Amino acid sequence: MSDPAKIRADVIEALKTCYDPEIPVDIYELGLIYEVEVGEGGSVAVKMTLTSPACPVAGSLPGEVEQKVRSVTGVNEARVELVWDPPWDKDMMSEEAQLTLGFF
């Protein structure tokens, strides 16, 4: 039996290997991941956004995220939903990301 908390932690680690190509910070630290939900049987649902609707990777990044989630041990199904509410802004970034990008 898979541990949902472990799967969630492993999914987050996998998400930290995805980067917005224009920003040298991973998408999790950027605050683009709004929700990671692990259900029964290893199904994982991710709600994410992009820095803007005109983001050049709008067509490819959600698919990359889904692929990374599917690669995690214990995940049997992955669904990535792109949402625009609430709109992303720089205050959603982790302190580490803000430091990396010089916002402090």
Three-state SS for 19?
A: strand
Quote the pTM value.
Answer: 0.92
Residue 104 host element (H or E): none
Residue 76 near residue 86 (C-beta atoms within 8 A):
no
Q: What is the mean pLDDT of residues 12-36?
A: 94
Residue 24's pLDDT is what?
Answer: 87
Specify the long-range contacts of residues 86-90, CB closer than 8 Å, at least 24 apart.
Answer: 87/49, 88/31, 88/32, 88/49, 88/50, 88/51, 88/52
Give 27-79 pLDDT, tens digit per residue: 999 999 999 999 989 999 999 999 888 888 888 999 999 999 999 999 999 99
Q: Which fold has domain 4-86?
A: GMP Synthetase; Chain A, domain 3 (3.30.300)
